[in-house]
Structure 1
């Protein structure tokens, strides 16, 4: 193998490994933060594996595009804040168009734009990226170099293979989720309306936190024609606290609660 080819192969391997390293670091940070808030472990990534690709894309983009100014902290901070804000906005827009859902929403944060990005969040990411570049990256670089020396391009190919399988599996589940959640959401809305239109005791039941769900527990036949949600679909409903489904007005938490009840009922019936 000639020298130019070796250089290309090594650069390809290094950047693929950097991408997955920071996708993993981002997953640890995001899942840890959400888990701390919920007081239970939550895989808050879109994919099932321990990676969040937007973090991998963001940090590798910073390392490539802002390398000339990495020793100027002010320019590194400003450039990182702008670059990651653009990536976050584009990612939010694409995911919403592709999957008919808003996966995060900054509408409650001051100085936000369309709820997709917000100035305080961008300022935070600027500080975070400066910390990553100056403190975390030297450690990651040593780890990536070790993998490259020991396994070479084989390591990059293995990571890419697992990533593509995970992405395809998740994509199939998400594309099927819209129709299923709409059916469940419509059923929940209908159940709530039935309780509103019925006697006072039923109306009082509706006012309780999960009165409509208690009614489903008592009338199992109402669930017979509802679709099952896969564990991937149920995980996504629970992992994104600000998820907004465009195909139904029913809150994702209500859909997740009924889906969990459906799973338990059908498991008991086997």
Structure 2
């Protein structure tokens, strides 16, 4: 193992924060409004932390060979991204990204263009970014002897538990929306749903469980987010987000 346990924790945390900063800035500029990115409550994106840490561990033996580093980084990152997408869908019933419109994609989870980006990214990461991050980790380890890594682990684990609770409530609320929309159109004999009609009778359709701040943040910050079990909610999601932004 090229890294100690405390280094792995700090690598995960550091790249999660860097990933959050990058995504928040990029998506905020792209969407023309502030996007608080990240699946968890805190300012970090664990998918970046997991991905980069996994890549660094599994490509360490190739770091002095650019071509092997590129290929191994591409493969490891693609496998990780596929498994992460599958995990989110099966465990949390959510899809946070979808590459279905890209050539050669596999179930919308991974695509050749994205994998190539990962390959080049791993080379740049290993050669230009990680050396500076490692200097920081060495500095932190010498002063706290792993204590800060323990604090980070406790904070992020607690955040993860609260996120699971929030996502479970999100699934309950979206299912209520889904069921009430279906009941609404069944009552009126409409076979095709109409967003205009739904929002005209919003008080009748809206469930008793309200979307929390975190639920609204997820919908607002992840335009491609889908609740895999609730088609009717997914259909009105974009209009619902617009109403949230107008408030």
2:99 and 2:242 map into 1 onto residues whose CA distance is 28
* Aligned equivalent of 1:168: 161
Match of 1:93 in 2: 86
Q: What's the C-alpha RMSD, in Å, of the aligned pairs?
A: 2.8
Distance of 2:223 and 2:235 partners within structure 1: 9
Task: Report whether the alignment pairs 1:71 with 2:64.
Answer: yes
Distance in 1 separating the partners of 2:228 and 2:50:
27
Question: Which has more radius of gyration?
Answer: 1
The change in CA–CA distance for 1:128 and 1:193 in structure 2 (over 3 A counts) is farther
1:159-195: per-residue Cα shift (whole Å, max 9, x none)? 0111011100001111222121111233345557788
Within 1, Cα distance between the matches of 2:18 and 2:196? 37
Residues 118 and 252 of structure 1, relative CA distance in 2, 3 Å threshold: same
Partner of 1:239: 221
Deviations 1:45-66 (A, max 9, x none): 1111122222112212222221
Look up the SS of the partner of 2:101 in the other structure: coil
1:213 to 2:199 alignment: yes
Counterpart Cα distance in 2 of 1:77 and 1:259: 39
What is residue 120 of structure 1 aligned with on the other side? 113
Matched, 1:226 2:208: yes
Contact kept? 1:184, 1:226, Cα under 8 Å: no
How far is 1:239 from its partner? 2.0
Q: How many residues align?
A: 242
- Moved runs in structure 1, 4+ residues, more than 6 A? 192-196, 259-262
- C-alpha distance in structure 2 between counterparts of 1:257 and 1:48, whole Å: 24
Which deviates more from structure 2 when the two are superposed, residues 108-117 or residues 180-189? 180-189
> Which residue of 141, 153, 156 maps to 2:149?
156
Superposition deviation, residue 114 in structure 1: 0.8
Q: Which residue does 1:25 correspond to in 2?
A: 18
1:113 is paired with a residue whose SS is coil
SS at match of 1:106: coil
Q: Return 5+ residue gaps in structure 1 as ranges.
A: 1-9, 198-205, 266-270
Residue number in structure 1 paired with 2:44: 51
State the distance in 2 between where 1:249 and 1:136 align. Answer: 42
**Structure 2: gaps (5+ residues):** none
In 1: Cα distance, 2:176 partner to 2:233 partner: 13
Residues 58 and 76, structure 2, Cα contact 8 Å, conserved in 1 = no
The TM-score with structure 1 as length reference comes to 0.79
Task: State the 1:211 CA deviation.
Answer: 6.0
